[in-house]
Structure 1
């Protein structure tokens, strides 16, 4: 069961349509993306790199550039320390490549997920000191590493922090006081004293801004020549770190995709080739759901250094070898994830977990690195807040994924006595705890939970209620102006009532998708494609119209009225492009 809502935001859609040479339908979609000013629409539709913000608007950027250039001039050994996810890998690549172009003595360290944990730790600091490092530059981490940075300072190393995460704070007399780490410079758009106009950039973009600032300061020709390649990685970071595709993020991803298509980086080219992605068909989807997971898989099941080595490959042969390894590793991760989801389903049934508002699922044998992925999949299926707990090297570790109505971090704070360590935000969290506290945690979370049955009903937000016949080739082509789609800019959703489903045909190697012939209330015959759960659709038809209805539909004798939420796209096959209607929801 779902709740459908049609957006009802107001604006002068005819005026926008005339001014920007778009249809009123597209104008309405733009308003649904919270755009209200004509300057915002202009930037959304036609924004260029020149419309992005100056790196110098980031607080401490001037100090960071000064200290980095000073270290390079002095010949200090600089170490870039990133993180093991795609954003950390890409931001590490951006800074390392940029410093190399300056002629710096530079290398990179990326923490091991299991042995080191997230971000800076004492082990990495002490190792850097032993190996003669004079300056550490963090990326995608460091804002919460005050003790580790104090240690580095005491050992005579200089530290620059570049990050995009929330700044730690304490509350005194009802006021938040930020606790910045004691680095020479702290570049983070989330600082309250930072005047950067858009906080929602990822670590890779912060790293890119650092290199852009150094480029402007020095005019270094080597840095100028690699700007396009670095933009590729900022775009990849933005999508894979699930940043909202708004404001300058949208421009960076749009322009970054163009540069990835041109193939500046041997590693990315090889990764596209082994995944059968044609450069001219590349989209944000491929970044987030094909290339990104391959890079992420190394940090989950092995070491993220392998992903960095792929991106730093000099020859096509080396790149192809590394890309195949990453693809194979991702296939292993997928198989482990499928097994983990199956075990989670079994656990839910065995423990009557659907009766709980908050699902706390203990799967000791599951690899801790995929707990978050499994939690997300279970959350999607049951639309409940979910914690997946696994057995780690030092007790129980876990990841949580939440629904919109449940602030996960606040809920965990109420029961923090059960954790040895925890952190996160509204929709996602991580934790460590002792095994004997799992059941008390489950009881406490559910006792405190104020969610109602209504909160467990998924919500579908429809952009425009519109007959399929209105979605012609012109509109389908126009909607391409709204790409890239993703978080903060989803593909537009349309809806029409009382489509008569007359016939169906299952497609694909495993017959897991289908094409349906439908008759509209206006009398037109249209084709709907469905990539969702066919078993669930069949059960729905049999329940609503009687046993055997599914079989009747696939036999071509259907007469079943359904209301449908659909997307409009373009499908090119054998050189011919036509409008494609994709069913997303039905009732």
Structure 2
């Protein structure tokens, strides 16, 4: 995977530099933190303070949401008349949490309430006529949707024909004409005057509770619902800006200081989470809640959130933990099968990486697609084919490649499809899968540039060791909680000369080294240990965030290293990629390679170097020789030149070599004719582009 580091904002621009200076001065914070605030959209000290210290007064007026007045009046009418009400939700974290908020609140008002969450595996997303018919048979007179309903025109019309009113609360985009409901609460309505349009379903449910409380003249503590809304807001990956940021910040503070929701407490306990953060909500707690919906057991989530007895919620929390472990097992099996198929069929050579398998569980293929994308930074499509020959696909794209636009170009192939620029889903007949792959291949040729497959890593500015102190740590913590549109800060530290380099963890997969007074930890980067042992004149650069490590009563600042940039011509992976492109790509693509910025002596092996490498390979042919050992013994060699020599030798049939786990194994042909290295195709390409 190729990567490029990009500063999030260009602070060298005079206007932005002035904004950063103003924020730093007015808020009395380090310039590094002022830059974080500016990169998150703050343009003056007042906006920065609202970002760093949001408070309850920043909540928007719930009555500004469209149709809120109508919805409140109809709900209170149902309460007064003793009508049966159904809260109709979705099976993901947001939907089940939103259901729980309204069900619990309606019960607190003494209302006759039930809920309906469709089975993901049988019914799919949203309202359906059969479910509405059953609710009518149960005597339901009012349906309140959460996290769905904006597209359910037919189902809502059917309910109305049978004397059942519907209130829609949804946060998805409106699709043409609004449904004929009693009220349609959606901040994305074209006529909405609400100042923030990115609330999730549970966030909207919380706003409904706020309005209902106010309408009844109540001032009860709503922390329970705020805690629930915080969980869903993080899990639904909506922007952590404006009111969402306030919901999550206040909700998490409530959970950690005096948690009102017994279910959240129980879930944190079975997950061994001591302090809840947006990070462990997203990666530890929410997946357990989501697992229930993925495997068709979403109703139990409502029990988790709404039951009050410790024994009951503990049982549900344990059940969700078990369900998540099942989900992980299913996911791991599909992931391994998909990766194996991709490698075997060399699907990674295509722009769109497609993998399909019989009976792959439709509830986890989206997660599998995301994980595959971590290996190859390409758009990924994973499809599970059922017994009827229908494949359900889940797509994850990359910046600059609109997956929904691509699918729309062959919409006739699908039974159903939908999505947006970065993610999509569809169902398709098995016999149409080859047509889909063929279309995407041609679409990519016309609409894709290789630059789209280079991952951009954004950072918040440069930081030196002298900048890192306890004041900086306190100010950085004010930027929490992190999530979409408010990512965890990341800084570039340059010219580091690592000391005490060592690997650690299972399989020695992680990396530890020192930079001056600070310990640096780099997870999943143990393979770079040998590269860090080399002495580079200019040192190395890293992207890292300073964190406080609490250990046995002592607090220490450590650097959590996310990315390491060693000099490019010593980076094995990049050099392999560059040589593959040199061998196989067109001249236009070759000219885009970054290696041409270097001097000829750094990328074109000379005669002395090739002769020396030949002698070493011949000497150690039987047992092999370590790749890095050759570079250590010949200081004029770098990774790119050594790999280039091996490729040249293979090309002209001088030495047949293979590189396995850092060791070069060579075989010298018995009969050799004199070969002219200058005539090797790789040498010709190097010379042509250098010149």
TM over 0.5: yes
Matches within 5 A, 1:429-578: 429-449=424-444, 450-508=447-505, 511-518=508-515, 524-535=516-527, 537-538=528-529, 549=530, 559=535, 561-578=539-556
Pairwise CA distance, 1:56: 0.5
Pairwise CA distance, 1:161: 0.3
User: Paired residue for 1:174?
Assistant: none
Select between 446-455 and 420-429 the one with higher mean Cα deviation.
446-455
The answer to whether the 8 Å contact 1:502/1:559 transfers is no
Q: Distance in 2 between matches of 1:393 and 1:479?
A: 52
Q: Distance in 1 between matches of 2:102 and 2:387?
A: 32
Structure 2 unpaired stretches of 5+: 566-691
Pairwise CA distance, 1:393: 6.2
Q: Distance in 2 between matches of 1:422 and 1:38?
A: 45
Q: Distance in 1 between matches of 2:122 and 2:279?
A: 32
Pick from 329, 334, 337 the counterpart of residue 328 of structure 2. Answer: 334
User: Paired residue for 1:5?
Assistant: 6
Pick from 367, 371, 383 the counterpart of residue 373 of structure 1. Answer: 367
When Rg is computed on C-alpha atoms for both structures, the one with the higher figure is 2
The answer to whether the 8 Å contact 1:477/1:570 transfers is no
User: Paired residue for 1:32?
Assistant: 39
Note the alpha carbon deviations across 1:6-36, whole angstroms, 9 max, x for none: 2314142232212111111111111111221
Q: Distance in 1 between matches of 2:249 and 2:320?
A: 25
User: Paired residue for 2:233?
Assistant: 238
Question: Are 1:318 and 2:312 counterparts?
Answer: yes
Q: SS where residue 347 of structure 1 aligns?
A: helix
Note the alpha carbon deviations across 1:488-507, whole angstroms, 9 max, x for none: 11111111233222332333
Note the alpha carbon deviations across 1:60-105, whole angstroms, 9 max, x for none: 1011111111122111100001000000011001111111122110
Note the alpha carbon deviations across 1:268-301, whole angstroms, 9 max, x for none: 11111111111xx221111111110110000112
The answer to whether the 8 Å contact 1:387/1:398 transfers is yes
Structure 1 unpaired stretches of 5+: 170-178, 519-523, 539-548
User: Paired residue for 1:247?
Assistant: 242
User: Paired residue for 2:264?
Assistant: 268
Q: Distance in 2 between matches of 1:214 and 1:393?
A: 48
User: Paired residue for 2:401?
Assistant: 406
User: Paired residue for 1:183?
Assistant: 181
Q: Distance in 2 between matches of 1:274 and 1:182?
A: 44
* Structure with the larger RCO, 1 or 2 (CA within 8 Å, 6+ apart): 1
Pairwise CA distance, 1:49: 1.6
Q: SS where residue 464 of structure 1 aligns?
A: coil
The answer to whether the 8 Å contact 2:22/2:44 transfers is no
The answer to whether the 8 Å contact 1:102/1:220 transfers is no
Question: Are 1:359 and 2:353 counterparts?
Answer: yes
Note the alpha carbon deviations across 1:107-150, whole angstroms, 9 max, x for none: 11111001110011112101101111111100000001111111
Pairwise CA distance, 1:510: 5.5
Aligned residues: 552
Q: Distance in 2 between matches of 1:573 and 1:231?
A: 32
Q: SS where residue 436 of structure 1 aligns?
A: helix
The answer to whether the 8 Å contact 1:89/1:304 transfers is yes
User: Paired residue for 1:218?
Assistant: 216
The answer to whether the 8 Å contact 1:83/1:110 transfers is yes
Note the alpha carbon deviations across 1:364-383, whole angstroms, 9 max, x for none: 23211001101111122211
User: Paired residue for 1:545?
Assistant: none
Q: Distance in 1 between matches of 2:129 and 2:479?
A: 46
The answer to whether the 8 Å contact 1:473/1:578 transfers is no
The TM-score, its normalising length taken from structure 1, stands at: 0.91
